[in-house]
Structure 1
Amino acid sequence: DPSKDNPYDSGLIPSQVVQDISKTEFYGKVKLFLSLPSNPNFEKIQKKITAAPSGFMTQVIHSSQQVKRISEKLRLQGFRVIPCILLPSEKNEGSAKFLNLDWSEYKDTPAEFIKEIHQISGDVLITSPSDFAFAKETLKKI
């Protein structure tokens, strides 16, 4: 949870920032989300949960099981969960390799996978950093 780029005494620890903002006049006027790994250790992210953000945005996921596990734990506590999906295309392979992402579960049917993830979590964030044409075609199928 501490920032890797700032010293601990900077006060810029994401969960603490959420807690601090919740004590200001901005509380209720903005929705704050914290990030989660795609396979979080719930004991290690307890500070994030205790900070009580509006919800959590995941790092790029590669399976519906990851989303089910996160959603079952956090949605029951009233948090929104926004899984992030990297669209599987040749142009996005560099990003997938950099993220060590295995998109074999949805490579052939990304639109169906997106629908499934949305059904599980109620939200989804789609990214396609290097292939906007594929993103457009995929969105047409949803």
Structure 2
Amino acid sequence: MTIELQRDLSAVMAQQLQIRNHSLTTDVGEAEGGADTGPSPHDLYDAALGACKALTVMWYARKKGIPVEDIHTHIERDDSQERSGVYKLVARLQVKGDLTDAQLQELHAVAQKCPVHKLMTTVTTEITTDLERLP
């Protein structure tokens, strides 16, 4: 899969992000020289974790017949030590439904194993960057 970004010429630094048929703007805040026209790359990274946890819990609950009616996910970031190699995220999931304590514990275990959580904590990511001139 390819994700494409192209500068949004209506803003100083913003990028138009295209994923399949989905489009959104990403930018940085005014303090970083942007116009805050969309979420920052860090916001998208953090949101990927929250989305993955929520979708994984919903998928699992439906597969197992666990009566989850709604789910709200909150991600809190502490990037105060990022430059020294520590980036902290706290995920808080609030689940609505007629659930037993055992089902809540089961869903908690599933949330801990979502694919993005695994990517962020156990997988070595290799990145190659090429830079070319535009014609």
Shorter chain as normaliser: what TM range?
A: under 0.3
Structure 2 length-normalised TM: 0.25
Q: Which has the larger radius of gyration?
A: 2
Higher relative contact order (CA 8 A, sep 6+): 1
Structure 1 length-normalised TM: 0.24
